[in-house]
C-alpha cells in the first residue's frame, strides 16, 4: 500500500523567504493546505468559525418544488395544454391516475 503524502502548510512567509511547512492541524482550503496560524481567516485577523450542528434531520426529505412542477406539468399534458410525445402522454396519464387528480 502506498501512504498518502504528509499534509504540510503551503503558506509562503515572505519576510523569511520560506514556506511554513508545519504538519500539525493542517486542513485543506481553497489556496491549499494551511496550518491553523495561516488559514484564510487567521491571515485576516479573524477568529475561526466554530463548527455548527450540521444539517437538520429532515434536510434531504423535504418536498422539492421540482416534483410539484412535474405534477402540474403532467396535468397540463393530460388536459392538452402542453404538448408531449405519446410516451410522455402515457407517463403523464399514469402519474395523474396514480395521484387521483383528474380534471
Q: How confident is the model at residue 60 (pLDDT cuts 50, 70, 90)?
A: low
Cα distance between residue 83 and residue 34, in whole Å: 55
Same domain (yes/no): 75, 43 = no
Cα distance between residue 66 and residue 77, in whole Å: 16
Same domain (yes/no): 69, 41 = no
CA distances from 47 to 24, 40, 41, 69, 71 (A): 18, 10, 7, 43, 47
Q: How confident is the model at residue 53 (pLDDT cuts 50, 70, 90)?
A: confident
The answer to whether position 27 is within a domain reads: yes
The answer to whether position 52 is within a domain reads: no
Number of domains in the chain: 2
Q: Which domain holds residue 90?
A: 65-99
Supply 3's cell numbers: 501512504
Same domain (yes/no): 71, 29 = no
Same domain (yes/no): 10, 38 = yes
CB atoms near residue 1 (< 10 Å)? 3
Average pLDDT (23-44) is 94
The answer to whether position 57 is within a domain reads: no
Same domain (yes/no): 77, 37 = no
The answer to whether position 54 is within a domain reads: no
The answer to whether position 1 is within a domain reads: yes
Task: Identify the pLDDT of residue 35.
Answer: 95
Same domain (yes/no): 41, 71 = no
Average pLDDT (68-97) is 79
Average pLDDT (71-78) is 76
Same domain (yes/no): 41, 9 = yes
Cα distance between residue 34 and residue 12, in whole Å: 10
Amino acid at each position: 500500500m502506498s501512504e498518502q503524502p504528509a499534509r504540510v502548510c503551503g503558506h509562503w512567509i515572505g519576510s523569511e523567504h520560506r514556506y511554513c511547512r508545519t504538519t500539525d492541524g493542517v486542513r485543506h482550503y481553497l489556496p491549499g493546505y494551511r496550518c491553523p496560524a495561516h488559514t484564510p481567516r487567521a491571515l485576516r485577523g479573524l477568529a475561526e468559525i466554530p463548527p455548527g450542528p450540521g444539517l437538520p434531520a429532515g434536510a434531504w426529505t423535504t418536498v422539492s418544488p421540482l416534483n410539484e412542477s412535474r405534477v402540474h406539468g403532467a396535468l397540463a399534458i393530460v388536459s392538452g395544454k402542453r404538448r408531449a410525445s405519446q410516451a410522455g402522454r402515457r407517463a403523464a396519464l399514469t402519474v395523474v391516475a396514480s395521484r387521483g387528480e383528474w380534471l
